[in-house]
Amino acid sequence: MLLIILFFVHLTMQSEKAFNHFMYVNNVVRSEVKNMIKRINHITFAVSDLKKTTSFYENILGLKKTGEWSNYVIFDVGEVELAFEPGGKKGHKEGAPDIFMIVDNVDDAYKKLKAKGVKFVSEPKDQYWGGRTATLLDPDENMFILVQSKEEK
């Protein structure tokens, strides 16, 4: 009986050491991964008509083009590059992420873009979290949400 109890105590101590080691390694790895990724730098969309898309983002939305090739174009949107390449399809993208573009005044942006022919899915409206948004469609029907934070209202 004493041998069984000693064996159980030994296993418990080994298990505790193994668990503590696992937790230490897990925390180190999580910390390294957490510090490894700093921010999103670049997002690429496949589109059906690169020239039409380029014109929309440059001339209608007024984004600064930072790179262009025959099969790729890049725009600066704050600290994130928004890029486009051929190969996409026009139409609603089921399951696409919500992408918010910060503006100073949603209502003003909505009026100006609507006057330029931009299609909107929703008019400016207050959100429960305090911001104000309006959702637009690009030529391929990719959705972007214009957002004005509650501090800027």
pLDDT digits (tens, 9 = 90+) for 65-101: 999 999 999 999 998 999 999 999 999 888 888 999 9
Q: What separation, in Å, do the N-terminal and C-terminal C-alpha atoms of the chain show?
A: 75
Do 138 and 123 fall into the same domain? yes
Say what the pLDDT of residue 17 is: 63
Q: Which residues pair with 147 in a beta bridge?
A: 102, 133
Dihedral sign, Cα of residue 19, residue 21, residue 22, residue 28: positive
Q: Name the residue among 42, 45, 71 with its Cα closest to residue 138.
A: 45
Do 95 and 128 fall into the same domain? yes
Say what the pLDDT of residue 10 is: 47
- Global pTM reads 0.74
Mean per-residue pLDDT over the chain, rounded: 85
Do 76 and 129 fall into the same domain? no
Say what the pLDDT of residue 137 is: 96
Residue 71, burial from CB neighbour count under 10 angstroms (0-12, 13-18, 19+): exposed
Query: Within 13 A of 140's CA, how many CA atoms are on the CB side?
Result: 22
CATH code of the domain in which 42 resides = 3.10.180.10
Let me know if residue 15 belongs to a domain.
Answer: no
Residue 120's domain comprises 90-153
Let me know if residue 75 belongs to a domain.
Answer: yes
- Per-residue pLDDT of 8-67, as tens digits, reads 444 455 566 665 665 665 666 666 666 788 888 999 999 999 999 999 999 999 999 999
Q: How confident is the model at residue 149 (pLDDT cuts 50, 70, 90)?
A: confident
> What is the count of structural domains for the chain?
2
